[in-house]
Structure 1
Amino acid sequence: MKINGVATKKLVKHTDDRGFFAEVLRDDENLLSRFGQLSWSTSYPGVIKAFHYHENQDDLWFFPSGNVQAVLYDLREHSSTKGQTNVFYMGEHNPILLLIPKGVAHGYRVLGQEPATIVYCTTQSYNPRNPDEKRIPWDDETIGFDWSTENR
Structure 2
Amino acid sequence: MCHPEIVIDGVKSIDFTQHKDDRGIFVEVYRNEWIDETQPIQWNVVHSSANTLRGVHVHVDHHDYLTVLSGVMLLGLHDIRPESPTYGRSSTIELSTEPSRAILIPPGVCHGFYYLQPSIHLYAVSQYFNPADELGCRFDCPELNLDWPATSPLLSQRDQTADNYTTMCEKFLSGHKSVG
| TM norm. shorter chain > 0.5 | yes
Which of 114, 118, 122 matches 2:121?
118
CA distance in 2, matches of 1:87, 1:43: 18
Q: Where does residue 111 of structure 2 map in the other structure?
A: 106
CA distance in 2, matches of 1:71, 1:20: 28
Which structure's residues are more often strand, by fraction? Answer: 1
Q: Where does residue 43 of structure 2 map in the other structure?
A: 38
Offset from partner CA, 1:80-137 (integer Å, 9 cap, x none): 10010121111123321000000000011111xx41111101111113xx34210110
Q: Where does residue 91 of structure 2 map in the other structure?
A: 86
CA distance in 2, matches of 1:88, 1:31: 22
Higher relative CO (CA 8 A, sep ≥ 6), structure 1 or 2?
1
- Matched-pair contact (CA < 8 Å) for 1:53–1:106: yes
What SS does structure 2 have at the residue aligned with 1:99?
Answer: strand
Runs of 4+ in 1 over 6 A off after TM superposition: none
What is the TM-score of this pair, normalised by structure 2? 0.76
Count of residues paired in the alignment: 145
CA distance in 2, matches of 1:144, 1:3: 14
- Matched-pair contact (CA < 8 Å) for 2:91–2:146: no
- Structure 1 unaligned runs (5+)? none
CA distance in 1, matches of 2:115, 2:46: 12
Identity %: 29
Residue correspondence of structure 1 range 27-66 to structure 2 within 5 A? 27-66=32-71
CA distance in 2, matches of 1:145, 1:27: 31
Which structure's residues are more often helix, by fraction? Answer: 2
CA distance in 2, matches of 1:119, 1:29: 16
What SS does structure 2 have at the residue aligned with 1:142?
Answer: helix
Q: Where does residue 15 of structure 2 map in the other structure?
A: 10
RMSD over aligned Cα atoms:
1.5
CA distance in 2, matches of 1:86, 1:121: 21
- Return the offset for 1:34: 2.1
In the superposition, relative to structure 1, how do residues 21 and 31 fare at CA in structure 2: closer, same or farther (>3 Å)? Answer: farther
Q: Where does residue 148 of structure 2 map in the other structure?
A: 147
The one-letter code of the counterpart of 1:35 is P
CA distance in 1, matches of 2:110, 2:123: 16
- Return the offset for 1:56: 0.3
- Structure 2 unaligned runs (5+)? 1-5, 151-180
